[in-house]
Amino acid sequence: MEVNNLTLEQKATNFDTCCHINLVKKFAWQFVIKLMTRALEHDATKLKEPEVDLFVKFTPRLADTQYGSPEYNEALKGLKPALDHHYGQNRHHPEYFKNGIEDMDIVDIVEMFFDWKAATLRQKDGNLRKSIEMNANRFKISPQLVKIFENSMDLFD
């Protein structure tokens, strides 16, 4: 049906639909801009004091261990002062918030997921599925959000 042949009711409905479509586009672009800003600023605190020296010292040790292993956890103890600062400055970490994941927004969650994905690529035998499973327990992540993470694993290779 051509636009000129539409009834007034159809034109009014189409106008409302176009307004809805444009609002969704607006919100999606707002999200993209916020996420791109986070991507540009991601982990910048690791590049300067008080974090840089400890990350230089412990990152190679962490890369040679399995996530969650006793050796990994031992290396984290030495990195703790830098991690405490890092978590306090970067809201994509559940530790940033009093109530962890529960206080995060959707941009925080997406950045955290990407951070986990990237971290597995630096880790000896890195495995995103295993990281999600371990972090689900560590951060008390709901089964529904865990499933969303699992459903999203293959989107970013």
- The structure's pTM equals 0.91
Amino acid at 110: V
Amino acid at 98: K
Angle at 104 between CA 102 and CA 108, to 5 degrees: 145
pLDDT at 83 over 90: yes
Amino acid at 39: A
CA distance 121 to 135: 16
For the stretch 19-43, pLDDT in tens is 999 999 999 999 999 999 999 999 9
> Residue 58 sits in which domain range?
43-90
The answer to whether residue 118 sits within a structural domain is yes
Total domains, the chain: 3
| CB of 115 closer than 8 Å to CB of 86 | no
pLDDT at 12 over 80: yes
Helix crossing, 70-89 with 52-63: angle to 10°?
Answer: 150
Q: In the 8-state DSSP scheme, what is residue 83?
A: H
Per-residue model confidence (pLDDT) at position 1: 58
| Same-domain status, 23 and 54 | no
| Same-domain status, 13 and 58 | no
For the stretch 94-118, pLDDT in tens is 999 999 999 999 999 999 999 999 9
